[in-house]
Amino acid sequence: MSIIISVFLFLVSISILVAVHEWGHFIVARCCGVKTLRFSIGFGKVIWRKVTRSGLEIVLSAIPLGGYVKFLDETESRLSLAERPFAFNRQSVFKRIAIVLAGPLFNFIFALFAFWLMLIIGVHQIKPIIGEVVPHSLAAKAGFLPLQRIVAINDDAISSWQDIRIALYGKLAEDKPLLVWVRGPKEALAHSILIDVSGIRLDEDNIDILEDFGVFPFELNIPAIIDQIEPNSPAAALGLLRDDKILSVNGAKIDNWHELLAHITDSGGKTVTLIISRKGEEQSLSVALGKRIDHQGEERGYLGVRAKALSLPKDLFIRKSYGPVAAIPAAWHEMWGMTSLSVNLMYKMLTGKIGLSGIAGPIGIAQGAGIVAHSGLSAYLGFIGLISIGLGIVNILPIPVLDGGYLLYFLLEIARGKPLSEKAQLIGIKIGFSILLLLLMLASYNDIMRLLE
């Protein structure tokens, strides 16, 4: 069921973003006096069609990985004298540039709206308090300590772990050290730590940049005491009771709920021996664990028990929430920051400074959609806003077939004083299509490798 939800949300997300992108082309073309013949969401075989009174054909096609608008154009068919003024190729080069750029522009506008709505709803984030410093890591060598709070990196204020990840991603493959400002739990003033991050990498073996940095967020130490038992679960069949404390699994000592989950999820379908404490007396019990598919499509073991909810310290979390007016500049800041980061990472990939394993395809996007679906509407809005930014950036790359390729043609037309020949444009389109095919194959390979891991 989780796979179905992921696929469904992927299709919905892509369809929304493609519709926004193509609507940008369509609306600006109409303002420029260009007639649109077809507005398509998807490619390939048409599965649904509607024709408006103006003759515009709106269609849904079988392959939902893109879309297009088809304009009246003399290069594709003969036009009457009455039709020619409404043809795309008859417009000035500056109108054609405006029409081409409108698609990516509308993706950025949509991202701004998504972030604006996200910030009005509110975003819950964890304060950047260090819980664990990995031995022998960059952070350990630099002198970071547990319970320190990271308050700034270089000149940027830090309010959450999300801010830290973004700052670290932006410094990948750079030789400049970071100046990190931290404050201890009993310190009134922050002090700085200079750390060399040039060795931080990001590849298929390391998908969380905090892992290489060497710090992890502070987490509550929840005791392994059962509060609820799921009906018809292995725990219910075994006869586990509320307030039972699990002391060990297969001889491995259990100190907290996190350790219990780690042992249970890795042992799906296996029979394990539990040592529990019930009313001060220890008992040994054997149970065959069940198996479930999680929201990432992976098989996990489960026992069917839940921990007692603990009251979370108020000073551990922050909630970013704004009114409709105050959310506008905050959303702009969010969009600008994510756009700058995306361009920075893309540039480093293209120049070979970092690997290409970060490129995700349809499977990766579907996984992301499935994961954020479990985190609420606010998280989904942030996700779809980020994907919209990526779609806008990719489309303005100077690759024929993409909007940026046509923009390149038009700029060359301005420089030459005349359009490129049809033969030259056709060669460019073939090259562009080959590049896109290679990128899709690479993204699909990365997706498959992540699934295998």
Render pLDDT for 392-439 as a digit per residue (tens, 0 to 9). Answer: 998 999 988 889 999 999 999 999 888 888 888 889 888 888 888 887
* pTM, 2 dp: 0.73
Q: Is 392 exposed, middle or buried (0-12, 13-18, 19+ CB in 10 A)?
A: buried
Render pLDDT for 337-372 as a digit per residue (tens, 0 to 9). Answer: 889 988 888 887 777 766 666 666 555 555 555 556
Render pLDDT for 196-207 as a digit per residue (tens, 0 to 9). Answer: 877 666 554 445
pLDDT for position 1: 43
pLDDT for position 366: 53
Q: How far is CA 197 from CA 141, 213, 350, in A?
A: 12, 8, 21
Pick 105 or 74 by higher pLDDT: 105
Q: Is 29 exposed, middle or buried (0-12, 13-18, 19+ CB in 10 A)?
A: buried
pLDDT band for position 176 (50/70/90)? confident
pLDDT band for position 69 (50/70/90)? very high
pLDDT for position 422: 82
Q: What phi and psi values does residue 410 have, to the nearest 5 degrees? A: -70, -35
The set of residues, in sequence order, having a beta carbon less than 8 Å from that of 123 and lying 6+ positions away, is: 319, 320, 321, 378, 379, 382
Three-state DSSP state, 85: helix
Render pLDDT for 125-139 as a digit per residue (tens, 0 to 9). Answer: 888 888 878 777 788
DSSP 233: S
Q: Has 76 been annotated as catalytic?
A: no
The set of residues, in sequence order, having a beta carbon less than 8 Å from that of 54 and lying 6+ positions away, is: none
Pick 175 or 46 by higher pLDDT: 46
Determine the Cα–Cα distance for residues 80 and 82; give it in Å rounded to an integer.
Answer: 5
pLDDT band for position 33 (50/70/90)? very high
What domains, with CATH codes, occur in the chain?
Answer: 101-121+322-453 (no CATH), 123-216+313-320 (2.30.42.10), 226-307 (2.30.42.10)
Least confident stretch, 166-175, 284-293, 325-334: 166-175
Looking at the predicted structure, is the pLDDT value of residue 235 above 80? yes
Distance in Å from the first CA to the final CA of the chain: 21
Pick 222 or 333 by higher pLDDT: 333
Bridge partners for 432 per DSSP: none
pLDDT band for position 115 (50/70/90)? very high
Contact 189, 271 (CB under 8 A): no
pLDDT for position 369: 56
Pick 185 or 107 by higher pLDDT: 107
Looking at the predicted structure, is the pLDDT value of residue 294 above 50? no
Of 22, 76, 204, 259, which one is the catalytic site residue? 22
Pick 312 or 128 by higher pLDDT: 128
Determine the average pLDDT of the residues in 157-168: 85
Token pair recorded at residue 317: 């979390």
Q: Is 370 exposed, middle or buried (0-12, 13-18, 19+ CB in 10 A)?
A: buried
Least confident stretch, 135-144, 205-214, 286-295: 205-214
Q: Is 444 exposed, middle or buried (0-12, 13-18, 19+ CB in 10 A)?
A: middle
Three-state DSSP state, 336: helix
